[in-house]
Chains A and B, each alone.
Chain A
């Protein structure tokens, strides 16, 4: 195929295949102008664009991503990656995967660091980045973000599971929402195998509170049924707390001291598992778990 025909064909394919969220992207901002064509990726195609990190978006059930480049003469390029995550809870979840940065009031939550703005609103997760950070590019990134958030037009609901967090894991705690053992292990390695039986149907909240190096961790998991929660509890006990296993898989809380001198506690209520890691004392582990289980019962 001749180059000109190929380019025309590619442009037409891009236009024909552009997912609806492409309409949320502005043509310009702050003197920067969009440079066609947009790039669109779906399914495993994301690995062509993002390499291994594409696994993160797949772990949150992304539907498609539209990438648009903006140029301005003599200034660094800006790139917008607009992800349709299919649901507000997964847009929130993928946002919580990277929580470093300065809070910016864009979308439902926004963070900015070193030329990169990330935010979520409704079912969309958005990354706006500048090839180099300047005062001008930073302002344009902010303007682009504000335009896209406005175009989305409405907020989505945060995952209901967040409301099940006990008080001491709210406020200053780092809170992430996830489904996948790959994501869990990225933030807090539990096991090479999927001993918690996490999958796309399970929801989990990983909360960490305390200072770096001594963070206490709470992992709450909601399963589709009590039976699946019970199986996961048994699987976890067998692999991670075998010394606590002899009393079977009854929902009774278990506490063990781990090899680093900290304490781990585990318990089940109905469709939920609650796990505490890195507690400083046996009492703290048991108390934290009791508070988490009580919260599950009270709501």
Chain B
């Protein structure tokens, strides 16, 4: 497979004409229709879909030593998915995501310092099983997904990872979590991973992602030095952000991280590496919506210090 080369000049050429909002064509379903002004601003006759995102928080989700509480996290995930699809029963909600005939790849993040974790992985797998998918057609993996037979046959992908600042991409995001679906991840590092969203159009993943889960249980809001991790820059937010639009999920998580940085630093201090891959996934690649005005954010649960 070849991909088009893009140079700095291509980006200079397009940056002057790219629209900044109202990108369409993502996989969002069941989202609210809202009136938007016509270009001349005179009337409200068009409608656009907002990307629905659910933020659920619970102060009991994380305990001593950053231990995840599986029961609480199961309940949080259930509430989020039920809200996302307007169902009162979690299994009914999950049937919007998977069918018994599906092969389901749960793309997790196994980085040992801040992994997605067994509580979230287990909560997802339990509901996928209960929705009727046999266990031998469910895989959970991070490294090695590219050559994993189950992921190669997957008809549905569920994308789950923690939010943290990231050296190359500014923020370790749901969009970024698919970097291991390419053979040479470093090819996407240029310009602060500006074009990560193009991975989502590769055949192995295109159109298959039915749910994105950004763990905000203990996000990392800052880092210095060569290591990507520092316990001092984690905080217990006790949240999970869920949605079908990965860009909207990431943009919401990024808002929380920025707000935390404002709180800690007393200023809107830029990340050491720009997280512009999230906005560009919208404006350049049309993968989803990044503007809060285009996101229908539903907040559930614990409200203390929710930052947004």
Contact = CB atoms under 8 A, between A and B. Distances in A.
Contacts, number: 97
Given A52-B167, A53-B228, A116-B224, A258 B9 contact: yes
Interface of chain B: mostly helix, strand, loop or mixed = loop
A13 interface: no
A194 B117 CA distance: 37
A114 B168 CA distance: 20
A249 interface: no
B302 interface: no
A192 B224 contact: no
Nearest to B11: A189
Nearest to B224: A116
Given A53-B168, A240-B9, A258-B12, A129 B225 contact: yes
Interface string A258-271: 11100000000000
Given A52-B168, A53-B167, A76 B7 contact: no
Interface in A75-112: 76, 79, 81
B6 A52 contact: no
A192 B9 contact: no
Contact of A113 (B112, B113, B224, B227): B224
Interface in A116-154: 116, 118, 127, 129, 131-132
Q: Interface range on chain B: under 10, 10 to 19, 20 to 34, or 35 or more?
A: 35 or more
Given A76-B232, A190-B8, A191-B8, A127 B226 contact: yes
A15 B230 CA distance: 25
Interface string B21-38: 000000000000000000
B49 interface: no
B89 interface: no
B261 to A, nearest CB: 13
Interface of chain A: mostly helix, strand, loop or mixed = mixed
A79 B227 contact: yes
B166 A52 contact: yes
A259 B6 contact: no
Given A132-B232, A182-B186, A258-B12, A195 B5 contact: yes
B189 A185 contact: yes
Interface stretch (A43-51, A169-177, A199-207, A280-288): A43-51
Contacts of B191: 185, 189
26 contacts: A48-B112, A50-B226, A50-B228, A52-B166, A52-B168, A53-B226, A55-B168, A81-B227, A118-B225, A129-B230, A131-B230, A131-B231, A182-B186, A182-B190, A186-B168, A189-B191, A190-B8, A191-B5, A192-B3, A192-B190, A240-B9, A258-B8, A259-B9, A259-B13, A260-B12, A277-B8
Given A131-B232, A240-B8, 11 more contacts: A48-B112, A50-B226, A55-B168, A55-B189, A113-B224, A185-B189, A186-B192, A189-B190, A195-B7, A258-B12, A259-B16
